[in-house]
Amino acid sequence: MLKLPVRSVNRLARIVQIENPIYDLCMIRRELQSVLEREGSRAPVVAVTGPRQSGKTTLCRATFPDHRYVSLEPLDNRGFARDDPRGFLAQYAGPVVIDEVQRVPELFSYLQESVDHDPTPGRFVLTGSQHFGLTEAISQSLAGRVALLELMPLSLDELHRFERPPSGLWETVWAGGYPRIHDRGLDAGRWLADYTATYVQRDLRQALNVTDLDAFTAFLRLTAARTGRERNLTGLGGDAGISHPTARAWLSVLEASFIIFSVPPWLRNASKRVLKAPKLHFVDSGLACHLLGIRDPDQLRNHPLRGAVFETWVAGEVLKARLHRGRTPDLFHLRETRGIEVDLVIETGSSVTAVEVKSGATVASGFLDGLVGFRERAREAVPHLDVVPRLVYGGEGRQARTDADVLPWSDVQEVGW
C-alpha cells in the first residue's frame, strides 16, 4: 500500500476541499468533536456557537457528513425560513446542519414543534456566530431538547496538528488561534486586519447601530489595552469619549460576540476586602495584538503589555480546555485589598485550582507568593478545601515545587483544567 508523506496528504486534502465545498478548511480533529458526537447521539438538537471563523461549520459537517446542509446567510434561504418556517423545516426535515441560525431566531419555536413530533437524536445541528440573546432564545424554545456547545479558536494542542505550527511562545501568542491562518499558512497580521474590518467593526457596528466609526475603533483599541485587567467602565468610557452606559453596552456586545470574555471575582470568601470588578480578556490573543498595533512577534516580546497579553493567552487556553471538553468555564480571579492576587481560580467540585501567570522565562522567587497566600486564605474561608496551585510561565522547564506545580507555556494544555 502506497504511503504518502504528510505534506502530500495535506496538499491532496486542499485539492479535495476545493473540489468538494463540504469543508471550508483542511480539517484537523478538534477537541470538541468527541463531545459533539456524544451529544448528537442523545439530543435531537445540538447547537454550536462561537466566534466567527472559529471553524464551527467545518467541525459540524465533518462530524455529521451524512447530514444535509443549509445556511441562513443567503437572503433567499433566510427569507424562506422566516416567511414559511414550516415549509422550510419540511424541506430540511433532518438530519441537517443549519448554519448561521441566529439570522432567523423565529425558527426556534417551530423547531420545538418539529422535534416534539420526531425526537430522533442528532436530527438538527445548529451553528451560530453571534449570540445576542441567541443562547437564551435557544434555551427557552428548546429547553430539554438541545445540547449547547461552544467552539473557540484553536487551542495550543490543536495548533500543533497543523503541518507548520508557530515555532515559539511569542509567535504563538501573536498569531492567535483562528483556524484559517494556520490551515492556509496566511500572514496573521494581514488576516486579522481583514477580520477586524469585516467582522468586528462591520458586524458589531451594525448590531449596535454605531454611526461613529472612529469612536468605536478607539473603543476597541482601548479595550485591547485593558486585556488582563479589571473592568473599569468609567475609565474606559472616559478615555473613549463615550458615556458609562454606552461603554457597558458596547462591552456587552463584544462579549456576546465572543471577542472578549469576563472572569468574575472569586467570592467564595465574601469578605469586603475583595474587589468585585471582573477581569477582561480577549478570546484570541492575536486579535488583541492586532488592535494594540503589535505587528510582529519580536515587537510583542519587548512590548510593555507583554505580561497582560500572555496572561490573556493563558486564560484563553484554560477557557478552551474546559469548553472543548463540554464543561462550564467556572473561571474566576482574586485580588484583595491586603495584596493577595491570583490571576485565575478554577472551581471543580470541592477543589479549586489557583493559577498565577508570569511571562518571564525564569522563575523568580516572588512568583509563588500569591499562590501561597491564596491557599492560606482559601482554607481559612473553607476548611478542608483542596487547593491546587499552579504557575504558568514563559520558560521551557517543568518544575514540581513544594508550593506549586510550575508549568512552562508549552505544557498549558497538558494538564487537566
* pLDDT tens digits, 65-99: 999 999 999 999 999 999 999 999 999 998 999 99
Size of the chain, expressed as the number of residues it contains? 417
Map out the domains of the chain as residue ranges.
6-150, 156-411
Q: 6-150: which CATH number, 3.40.50.300, 3.40.50.970, 3.30.1490.20, 3.40.50.620?
A: 3.40.50.300
Spatial contact of 405 and 375, defined as CB atoms under 8 Å apart:
no
C-alpha–C-alpha distance, residues 400 and 61, integer Å:
42
- Return the top range by mean pLDDT from 144-153, 311-320, 358-367: 311-320
> Which residues have C-beta within 8 Å of that of residue 126, sequence separation ≥ 6?
45, 46, 47, 48, 97, 98, 101, 138
Least confident of 8-22, 116-130, 358-372: 8-22
68-71 and 229-230: which strand pairing?
Answer: unpaired
Specify which residues 336 forms β-bridges with.
274
C-alpha–C-alpha distance, residues 98 and 82, integer Å:
14
- The predicted model gives 285-311 an average pLDDT of 97
Alpha-carbon dihedral sign for residues 219, 224, 226, 231: positive
Q: Please determine, for residue 105, whether its predicted confidence score (pLDDT) is greater than 70.
A: yes
User: Cα 245 from chain centroid?
Assistant: 25
121: cis peptide before it, omega within 30°?
no
Average pLDDT, the chain: 88
- The predicted model gives 153-164 an average pLDDT of 95
Least confident of 26-30, 115-119, 388-392: 26-30
pLDDT digits (tens, 9 = 90+) for 179-231: 999 999 999 999 999 999 988 877 777 777 777 778 888 999 999 999 999 99
Cell of 147: 445540547
C-alpha–C-alpha distance, residues 135 and 130, integer Å:
9
